[in-house]
Amino acid sequence: MGRQASINLADVRAAREHLIASNKPHGVIAIRRQIGRGSPQLISKFVTELKDQSRPRGNTTPLSSNDADIGIAWHTVSRGIENIIERAATQHPAAQFQDAPADDKTLLRLGKLEQLVLQQQDHLERIENLNHKLEEQLMQQQDLFDSWRHEQHADRLLLKTQLDQLAQFATKKPKTKPNKRGEQLDLYKDPKQS
The residue ranges of every structural domain in the chain are 1-59, 61-135
Distances (CA, A) of 7 to 48, 138, 144: 15, 21, 21
pLDDT-based confidence at residue 161 (cuts at 50, 70, 90): very high
pLDDT surpasses 60 at 41: yes
Average of per-residue pLDDT across 174-193 = 68
Predicted structure pTM score? 0.33
Burial class (CB in 10 A: 0-12, 13-18, 19+), 1: exposed
Q: What is the pLDDT of residues 56-76, one digit of tens each?
A: 655 445 555 566 677 777 767
